[in-house]
Structure 1
Amino acid sequence: MTKKKLLVSALFGLGLACTANAAQTEIRFDGFPDFDSSLKQILPKFYQENPDLKVDYVMNNWGDHHNKLTTNLATGSGAGDVVVVDVGRIGAFVNKGGFVNLSEKYDVDSLADQYAPYAWTQGQGVDGAQYGIPVDLGPGVLYYRRDVADSVGADINKVIHDWDSYIEYGKKLKPKGVYLIASAADVAEAIIYTTVEDGNGLYFDAQGKSLLQSPRFVKAFETAKKIRDLGLDAKITAWSNEWYEGFKQGTLATQLSGAWLLGHLKNWMAPDTAGKWGVSNLPDGIYGSWGGSFLVIPKQSNKQDQAWTLIKYMATRPDVELEAFKTIAAFPSLVATYDDSMFDEKIDFLNGQKARLLFAEVAKNVKPVKPAKGDQVARSIILDAALGEVLDEGKDVKTALAEADRILQRRLKAM
């Protein structure tokens, strides 16, 4: 899913499929765009099956939505009955408490086999219980400009062979005034998230010991630093006007992202570039997740059963997930959808490529990684602070990681 949009508050479906005098229970859905676009499509049918319910929904941009949820959980009031949580925040929120234990209340563990294994695991707490139901995934892929690759005679399959070949591609583009990628930080994030060792978490091993100074983090930081030092990235952040312009003008050759980026490139970021894009696996043979969303029920809701009815409709029915896939390119979390004929369709925006087959391949190959209580703290220290010091200030990689590890230990003791 996506992150930037102005506040949208909408009431939808008043009177649809309802008798004039039917009593309705109102529930509220809190999320971020483009869930509003999806809800507009799926709620009419939902009302036909559930005429006793009415769904109000409130949309904030990605950051404001999660900040608001933090406040709601801390104060014990103000949250919606159904709330969307991004994969990057689900572990931290779940392990702080505040969400209904769905395994306990609704016996959802029997649903596990219906979902991509890694996504189901991400919605669990450290106690192994399920708190979030995956509603969409973000299979990690590389979007690339076909015209840019053609201008230097590059074969994308050779470009993505490993990170060195990817960097060599960037060197060929530099004289043309084209950047390899918007931000080298994306490369570091990709390596950190997609090369987790068996049995380990993102930032901690099975015993809870920090991994911040492990070879995985060293490689991630050093690869990103090499891209920055060679001047191959544009030093611009995602969801900025400069990012959009780079896509429109062809000055950004590639973007590591989730499958969902297709919908935004096509619908509003760069619609005039249709046919100029392609999509491939991530470099170095890695499989990973880049985004994804979960539906949760806050304990503070006094309409939990009605909230579960909506979650079941949105996240356990293949037909509904496929409708969202069609509307906003939200890749389905239900593996049963991957045999749908839609996956074999050519996508005009990608020059006729059958990209959904690639998305499904990636989703099936991502390894489960269980979240840990300290993940959000570790993420902020590593990706928001230490990586910036390395890329923007030239700090030595191992020194930055050692300092980040020390800060993490202090923060964990204070938790």
Structure 2
Amino acid sequence: MPASTCSEQQSLLPGPTRRAWLAGSAAGAWLALGAAGRVAADEKITLTVAAFPLVDEIARAALPAWQRLHPNVAVEVLTRQYADHHTAMSTALSTAALLPDVLALESSKLGRFAQGGGLENLAQAPFALDRYRPLLVPYAYDQAIARNGAVVAVPTDIGPGTLLYRQDILARAAVDAAELTRSWDGYIAAGARIKKQTGAYLIAHVQAIKDILIRTGIAPGEGIYFDQNSRVLVQSERFVRAFELALKVRRLGLDARITAWSNEWAEGFKRGTLATELSGAWLVGQLSNWIAPKTAGLWRAAELPEGANAGYGGAFYAIPRKLDANRKLLAWQFIQLMTLDRERQLTAFKTHDAFPALLAAHEDPFFDAPVAFLGAQPARQLWRQAARRISAVPVHKQDPFADEVIGSELDHVLNRGKSIRTALADAQALLERRAHR
């Protein structure tokens, strides 16, 4: 994907000029269709928006603003749980039955939908999404570019990666936070001291370490698991290193061997048995709101070890290709409200920790404000910098399957003593059989 294109466009907009342009453009950009999206006074229309939890709440919160602009166009937000939603959308797009007007997609699912041919190409008229490209976080926009150059979705929020750590646990172990981020070896060494001095585990599960390392050092033309020609990449050195470091952490007893989002995982945060976590910035909101609110003030944020850059999730809006043309225009205006309106983006961030994909929102003073849960650390500045450094990588329709295969093979290495080289060779053979299906 041409990640450099957007960065080059942004570099032409230095300093205050760029900020003013972004703010002005974003404020009015989504009104650009003008009369094309208007509805006659006596005409009543209902748009349907299909979404998954949290995205649905953000969409509903925007309905008063939408009604002021389109008093004759009601919006019904349909909610399904995450997995059910994406399954239902896949079925709807393939059969052209029960199509919503707007559908939300999570970033990890975007590649499969992009290559399915069921989504509208928003780069084409009358949408012309390319003109808004400089307004959006570069890697997020690039994630929505299909192999044929079509832009199939608009990012609404992102998940810049961060390392979260318990300051109180580090203090008890006499570990400086810089030791966690200087290198992966330093991160592991610090974890060993933390475990010895406090009994706390470095991390919940080593899969989190593997997930970052296989996304580090990707060469141009490569995806995570496949290159642009569907050649399988899982025997490359980045996979070898990811497995080696994960195995080292396991052998030292530094991971708690608990799965993210399990009850045990949440309890680890509440009880202070987990010293760090590698995740998206949005996890701070989850910790403060419901996972471990009583740990407020004990956590801090830092960049990922060795300056690694990784995105953790994110939501996009798309339009079905087979939707009626007139409804597409209204659907497009709804998407513009959700993605290009600065106030909508900031409201979603402040209320649901949905980190904005709109660059103009990043200029708001809210990004410089202290985060109470993080001991008044102005961590949003850190996440804003991380968001600019992340690069999009090409997606492949078999990426979700490849993720399962690699995760399974790592389990064989960790729990059954399988050699790393054999595990990756087995994964390579299986993925090669699936790559061209």
TM value normalised by structure 2: 0.86
Unaligned regions of 5+ residues in structure 1, if any? 1-20
Deviations 1:34-85 (A, max 9, x none): 1233234322112111212212112223222222223333333234221111
Give the CA deviation at 1:300: 4.0
Return the match for 2:396 from 359, 372, 385. Answer: 372
For the pair 1:259 / 2:298, whether they are aligned, the reply is no
Equivalent residues in 2 for 1:165-180, closer than 5 Å: 165-175=186-196, 176-180=198-202
Give the CA deviation at 1:25: 1.4
Return the match for 1:102 from 97, 100, 122. Answer: 122
Return the match for 1:117 from 117, 128, 138. Answer: 138
Partners of 2:416 and 2:87 lie apart in 1 by 29
Q: CA RMSD in A?
A: 1.7
Return the match for 2:157 from 136, 139, 145. Answer: 136
| 2:221–2:394 Cα contact (<8 Å) kept | no
- Provide the residue aligned with 2:226 in structure 1: 204
For the pair 1:393 / 2:429, whether they are aligned, the reply is no
Partners of 1:354 and 1:57 lie apart in 2 by 34
Deviations 1:225-273 (A, max 9, x none): 2112222111111111111111111111111111111111111111111
- DSSP-derived class of the 2:163 partner: strand
| 2:230–2:435 Cα contact (<8 Å) kept | no
Deviations 1:264-298 (A, max 9, x none): 11111111111011100001111121111111112
- Provide the residue aligned with 1:11 in structure 2: none
Give the CA deviation at 1:394: 2.6
Partners of 1:159 and 1:331 lie apart in 2 by 24
C-alpha change, 1:66 and 1:388, in structure 2 (3 Å) is farther
- Provide the residue aligned with 2:368 in structure 1: 344
- DSSP-derived class of the 2:205 partner: coil
- DSSP-derived class of the 1:194 partner: coil
Deviations 1:84-143 (A, max 9, x none): 111111011111221111112411111111111111110111011100111001100011
For the pair 1:78 / 2:94, whether they are aligned, the reply is no
C-alpha change, 1:179 and 1:60, in structure 2 (3 Å) is farther
Return the match for 1:42 from 62, 68, 88. Answer: 62
- Provide the residue aligned with 1:159 in structure 2: 180
C-alpha change, 1:286 and 1:139, in structure 2 (3 Å) is same
Partners of 1:177 and 1:74 lie apart in 2 by 52
- DSSP-derived class of the 2:215 partner: helix
| 2:158–2:311 Cα contact (<8 Å) kept | yes
Partner AA of 1:405 in structure 2? Q
| 2:55–2:315 Cα contact (<8 Å) kept | no
Partner AA of 2:136 in structure 1? Y
Partners of 2:139 and 2:415 lie apart in 1 by 33
C-alpha change, 1:288 and 1:307, in structure 2 (3 Å) is same
| 1:212–1:404 Cα contact (<8 Å) kept | yes
C-alpha change, 1:186 and 1:310, in structure 2 (3 Å) is same
| 1:30–1:79 Cα contact (<8 Å) kept | no
Q: Percent identity?
A: 40
Return the match for 1:381 from 397, 405, 429. Answer: 405
| 1:143–1:277 Cα contact (<8 Å) kept | yes
Partners of 2:254 and 2:81 lie apart in 1 by 30
- Provide the residue aligned with 2:429 in structure 1: 406
| 1:42–1:323 Cα contact (<8 Å) kept | no
Give the CA deviation at 1:22: 5.8
Partners of 2:232 and 2:50 lie apart in 1 by 34
Give the CA deviation at 1:332: 0.6
Give the CA deviation at 1:217: 0.9
Partners of 1:32 and 1:228 lie apart in 2 by 34
- Provide the residue aligned with 1:15 in structure 2: none
| 1:126–1:372 Cα contact (<8 Å) kept | no
Deviations 1:310-354 (A, max 9, x none): 101001112211110111111111112221111110111110000
Deviations 1:134-166 (A, max 9, x none): 100110001111111111111111221111111
Unaligned regions of 5+ residues in structure 2, if any? 1-40
Most deviating of 155-164 and 198-207: 198-207
- DSSP-derived class of the 1:104 partner: coil
TM value normalised by structure 1: 0.90
Partners of 1:241 and 1:79 lie apart in 2 by 36
- Aligned residues between the structures: 393
Partner AA of 1:375 in structure 2? D
| 1:77–1:300 Cα contact (<8 Å) kept | no
| 2:59–2:338 Cα contact (<8 Å) kept | no
Partners of 1:221 and 1:72 lie apart in 2 by 38
Partner AA of 1:144 in structure 2? Y
- Provide the residue aligned with 2:46 in structure 1: 26
Equivalent residues in 2 for 1:54-65, closer than 5 Å: 54-65=74-85
Partners of 1:313 and 1:391 lie apart in 2 by 47
Partner AA of 2:419 in structure 1? D
- DSSP-derived class of the 1:219 partner: helix
Partners of 1:216 and 1:391 lie apart in 2 by 18
- Provide the residue aligned with 1:16 in structure 2: none
Question: Would you identify which runs of 4 or more consecutive aligned residues in structure 1 move more than 6 Å?
Answer: none
- Provide the residue aligned with 1:92 in structure 2: 112
- DSSP-derived class of the 2:202 partner: coil
